[in-house]
Amino acid sequence: GLSAQYMPVFLKKMEYTVSNEILRACLEEVFPGSNGCPTSELDFDQTIHVLDVARKASTLTRRKMAGYPEEEVAKYHAQLDVYDEEHGGTIEKLELTNLLKDLGIPMGTKDEQQAMHEKLEVARMKAKHSGVDPENLGVVGEPSVTFDVLLFLIRMLQADLDIAEVG
């Protein structure tokens, strides 16, 4: 069997990102009355059950992060925090323009700005459909972006660059 105390290490090795709350709830389900901290070992079926719940939770978490691994999200968060001058979690129009210019994305003409605005709305819609919480989507039509939506925008821009390189 596998000791429950090693489950977080085991899940990390499997590259599953699971909150402590989800893991505790799962262990409580497997060991009722243990408060998520069982003292006995998990047998094969119990381990598989925990892995299945962890896989589903990890998939949902990754989907909300535009498919990026947790480490890459943390890296983007640190880089993008520089542009969020008020540190409110939203990058406003001027801050966003500076960020996009620094990423090498042309924003000089009205057409380029309109195309980016349309991509921003598509990114917002993709984030919504991926399960990002409504309060983290920002306001439709506003020229500002939340970090969660920005991850989807960056994913889209990277895909555009990949297509341009192949084409």
pLDDT, residue 166, reads 76
pLDDT, residue 125, reads 94
Q: Please write the tens of the pLDDT for every residue from 122-163.
A: 999 999 999 899 999 988 888 788 999 999 998 898 888 778
Q: Please write the tens of the pLDDT for every residue from 3-20.
A: 888 888 888 888 887 888
Given a cut of 90, whether residue 121 has pLDDT beyond it is yes
Q: Where are the beta strands (DSSP E) in the chain?
A: 2-3, 41-42, 90-91, 145-146
Given a cut of 80, whether residue 48 has pLDDT beyond it is yes
Q: Which helix (H) or strand (E) holds 159?
A: helix 147-166
User: Per mean pLDDT, which range of 84-88, 104-108, 163-167 is the poorest?
Assistant: 163-167
Sequential DSSP letters for 116-139:
HHHHHHHHHHHHHHTT--GGGS--
Of the chain, the end-to-end C-alpha distance in Å amounts to 52
Q: Name the percent of the chain lying above pLDDT 90.
A: 18
Q: What is the mean pLDDT of the chain?
A: 86
The label of the residue with tokens 């889209």 reads 156
pTM over 0.95: no
pLDDT, residue 167, reads 65
